[in-house]
Chain A
Amino acid sequence: MSLPSPWRADFPAFAAFGRDCQTYLDSAATAQKPQAVLDALLDYYAGGAANVHRAQHAPGERATLAFEGARAKVAAWLNADSAEQIVFTRSATESINLLAYGLEHLFAAGDQIAVSALEHHANLLPWQQLAQRRGLELVVLPLDAAGDIDLEQAERLIGPRTRLLAVSQLSNVLGRWQPLEALLALARARGALSVVDGAQGVVHGRHDLQALACDFYVFSAHKLYGPDGIGVLYGRPPALERLRHWQFGGEMVQQADYHSARFRPAPLGFEAGTPAIGPAIALGAALDYLDGLDGEAVAAHEAALHARLLAGLRAFDGLQLLAEPHTALASFVVEGVHNADLAQLLGEQGIAVRAGQHCAMPLLRRLGRPGALRVSLGLYSEGDDLERFFAALHHALALLR
């Protein structure tokens, strides 16, 4: 069985990759874009660009309608109550930085912020730096043997001084869904704010944020088959109200004088400067595209492909998975072979996988690995991609051993 993807033809990049003999297995770093997204970008610019929220003219009105329409699509995708809960940022990383600055005033020396040991640098460093600025304690929740945040220890470590919990939904290295419900309940019980990094999780399945009941959720469009340069911050209204403004200028202003100013509430108050209008509209197009697919068929395809990936990897002698991944990706090392050597020889054979520390240096150090290789899948990936990867891996190992 070759597990073809029925959606592959929707993504023009694969024709180009085919011509260049490239096999793309790095979707957890960034995903390819369907034609619908490219069309949306082109339509916006070719149809006449105009700034949003600033003009009475027809092009401005058209741009604003499309831009706000995209916000509504994001809200619907996440099952948010209202589009007002969706702030557009530059990236998931910027969303978290916005939170670390916007919430800074809530913290006093000695307060605690809890993150997990598996966080991507984007959900570690903004909090680490906030802790340094304010004299806070950064509490790192340890992982259990499977690679999940250890709930027993979390129960002990998330305490009365914990003001904020920031955790990933799906690990970008281990590929495991984290026990969010239990962790968020702990945070709620302690009166702590909660931030969920959905950069990887949002790509796989639909997530109902009202049911999840976190205070904030962030993701970036480029991993979700949308363009780069646009990220999302979702917030529950009472949580958004606690944010202080962090970047100034543009339409975030309500009233300005030389020596004082008043600012808009979320979302516009947190979108200083001209936003990424085209990319926002194209994100909306990506969600329309995904909405038009049979979600169950996509999930079944990804699951079958992932099972094939794991089975294929297990057939290699001395290959060790960093964890037993639930979905979408697999990170591994091969005994006695340096990951940089493997990565180089896979690259020579046109296999695009990620090697190194995956923006999670502390996690790799904790796992005792100088680095690892990561293969990751998208809905357009198919069995033949994996076969080419396995053959190249076999070839590379034969050269190196």
Chain B
Amino acid sequence: MSLPAAACEALEAFAQCPGWEQRARLLLQWSERLEPLGDEERCEAHRVHGCESQVWLLGERQDGRWHFRAGSDARLLRGLLAVLLARVEGLTAEELQAVDLSDWFARLGLSRQLSPSRSNGLNAVLQRMRELAAQG
């Protein structure tokens, strides 16, 4: 399965990062790439629970392929959401089920962001994407 274009870009950028500081700067840059959510979209119905910070997720399907938008009140988490969205952009519901989030974040050098003691809720976000896709 070939990666979406933005995912290749993320891979290239993060793979060259030598340390936490550069990774943090990069995440802050990527956080700007999230499509902004409207006030009315930052609502309870779109909240992803299981995240200590607030996270909202919306998805729509066109020709069988999913496009997600997400937002958070925490900036580094927005960056993590941006690299997650880059990975899943334009996937079918079936492809979404097969995405290996740990592998993706490991390739970006961001594995620690998925450890069980983190409450940033990235796993909950992926779970919610799959639910949305399953509901069609």
Q: Are A340 and B74 in contact (CB under 8 A)?
A: yes
Q: Is A237 an interface residue (CB 8 A)?
A: no
Chain B residues 56 to 105 lying within 8 A of chain A, measured CB to CB, are 73-77
Chain A residues near B123 (CB, 8 Å)? none
- The stretch of A228-236, A253-261, A341-349 that contacts the partner chain: A341-349
In the bound assembly, the distance between CA atoms of A338 and B76 in angstroms comes to: 9
Q: Is A1 an interface residue (CB 8 A)?
A: no
In the bound assembly, the distance between CA atoms of A99 and B21 in angstroms comes to: 49
Q: Is A189 an interface residue (CB 8 A)?
A: no
Q: Are B53 and A370 in contact (CB under 8 A)?
A: yes
Chain A residues 312 to 370 lying within 8 A of chain B, measured CB to CB, are 338, 340-341, 344-345, 348-349, 355-357, 370
Chain B residues near A198 (CB, 8 Å)? none
Chain B residues near A370 (CB, 8 Å)? 53-54, 73
Chain A residues near B76 (CB, 8 Å)? 340-341, 344-345
Q: Is B34 an interface residue (CB 8 A)?
A: no
Q: Are A338 and B74 in contact (CB under 8 A)?
A: yes
Chain B residues near A400 (CB, 8 Å)? 28, 75
In the bound assembly, the distance between CA atoms of A27 and B58 in angstroms comes to: 40
Q: Is B25 an interface residue (CB 8 A)?
A: yes
Interface size on A, residues (CB 8 A): 14
Interface 1/0s, chain A 234-278, versus B by CB < 8 A? 000000000000000000000000000000000000000000000
Q: Is A58 an interface residue (CB 8 A)?
A: no
Q: Is B119 an interface residue (CB 8 A)?
A: yes
Given A338-B74, A340-B76, A370-B73; A399-B24 close (CB under 8 Å): yes
Given A356-B119, A399-B21; A340-B53 close (CB under 8 Å): yes
Instruction: Determine how close the nearest CB of chain B comes to the CB of A351; give it in whole angstroms.
Output: 12
Instruction: Determine how close the nearest CB of chain A comes to the CB of B26; give it in whole angstroms.
Output: 11
List the A residue with the shortest CB-CB distance to B53. A340
Interface 1/0s, chain A 371-401, versus B by CB < 8 A? 1000000000000000000000000000110
B24 contacts which of A340, A345, A356, A371 (Cβ < 8 Å)? A345
The interface centre, meaning the residue of A341, A349, A400 with most chain B CB atoms within 10 A of its CB, is: A341
What are the 3 closest A-B residue pairs judged by CB atoms, nearest first? A340-B74, A348-B20, A338-B74
Query: Which residues of chain A have a CB within 8 Å of any CB of chain B?
Result: 338, 340-341, 344-345, 348-349, 355-357, 370-371, 399-400
Given contacts A344-B76, A400-B28, 19 further A-B contacts (CB under 8 A): A338-B53, A338-B73, A338-B75, A340-B52, A340-B53, A340-B74, A341-B77, A344-B24, A344-B120, A348-B20, A348-B24, A356-B52, A356-B119, A357-B52, A370-B54, A370-B73, A371-B52, A399-B21, A399-B25
CB-defined A-B contacts under 8 Å, sample of 12 = A338-B75, A340-B52, A340-B76, A348-B24, A355-B52, A356-B119, A357-B52, A371-B52, A371-B53, A399-B25, A399-B28, A400-B75
